[in-house]
Structure formats: structure tokens, C-alpha cells
Amino acid sequence: MNTPGSGLRLSIPAWTAAIAAVVLGVAALPGAEKTEAPLAAAGPGPGGARNLTLAPNLSFTDDSSSNFPIRGENLEEGKIASDRPTAIFFGTSHCWNTNREAERFVALAAREKDAVRFLVVDLDHPSRDQKPLVARFYRGYIPTLAVLDASGKPVYNRSGETAGKRGDTSGFEEILRKSRAQN
């Protein structure tokens, strides 16, 4: 029984939202908003995927390459940095656009390995730790690049290449510069 002072008290606009929620079958009550679970954060230091190289026999002009484009150590890592920006690459095999962006990612990972945490997600085989990253940042298109500042706030989260010319890392470098400036 809903007696005064003991039940759910909603303002007129909140009642309207509650009625709409019942009619439409969606959650619209105050406090019922969708919240995202926090991402796992790593301790201090660069960590992440290390010693990245490109897979052999990649094509940069067609979708014939059956290898995932990035090789390296600690590729199953899924924790974001707590003290520096994090760059997350999402891709699969059989995509020359992914291969071209992987080439940029690997080049910058070699240069920025101490300043940025790099994570690599093979969307065909994400690790258990990477699944929250996929749920949060991947929107169905490859390649996708997400860059977070040191607080975990997304600075960039888009699909497609960061440049129109193979080997051009300037767009990606600018994204990393902005991720450092956020702190």
C-alpha cells in the first residue's frame, strides 16, 4: 500500500516519464539510467601490449591477408592506464584498411611506448579482460581506434583510418597530443 510519505514520490514530469516507461516498456524512472561498469585500470607504468610488429605477408591494397595484422607480447591485456593515456586498436584479419591503421599503430607504439599504454584487440578473439573495452568502445566497424586520457575519458573513438596516406602517422600523433593535454 502506498501511504503518504512511504511510497515512491515523483514530480509531475517524473510521473509522465514513469507512465511513458510503462507504455513503451523502457526504464525511465529516476535512477534507472544505464550506467557503464568501470573499466579495469592497471597500476602505474606503460604496460599493455609490447614489442609490437606487423604480421608477415600483410596486404595494404586488398583484403587477402588472413593474419591478424599485429603481433607482439601481452596482446591479451585489457586494462587501461591510470597514469597516462591509453590507445586501443580494434581490428580483424582480411581488411586492408585495418592493416594500414595497424601499421600506424605499431609505428607509434614503438615511439610512444613509455608515454602511452597501447592495447590491441583482435575482435575475432578478444580476451576476457578486453570484452568490456569492446562493449564500451567498438561500434561495429573496423578499424576502430579509441584513445583515452589518463583519467579514462575518451578523447577519440572512431572507426576508419586516421590518415588517407599509408604510413602517415600525423593524425594519430595529434590525437595522442590531445590525450596528453586533457590532464
Cell numbers linked to 60: 595494404
Do strands 117-122 and 86-91 pair parallel, antiparallel, or not at all (unpaired)? Answer: parallel
Q: Which domains does the chain have, with CATH numbers?
A: 50-181 (3.40.30.10)
Compute the chain's Rg from CA coordinates: 21
Residue type at 89?
F
Residue type at 104?
R
Q: Give the pTM.
A: 0.80
Confidence (pLDDT) at 37? 65
pLDDT tens-place string over residues 54-87: 999 999 999 999 999 999 999 999 999 999 999 9
Three-state secondary-structure class, residue 156: strand
Nearest to 73 by CA among 92, 108, 54, 49: 49
Place of cell 594500414: 100
Confidence (pLDDT) at 54? 98
Residue type at 71?
R
How far is the C-alpha of 23 from the C-alpha of 20, rounded, in Å?
A: 5
What is the percent of the chain where pLDDT is above 70?
Answer: 79
- pLDDT band at 183, cuts 50/70/90? low
Cell numbers linked to 102: 595497424
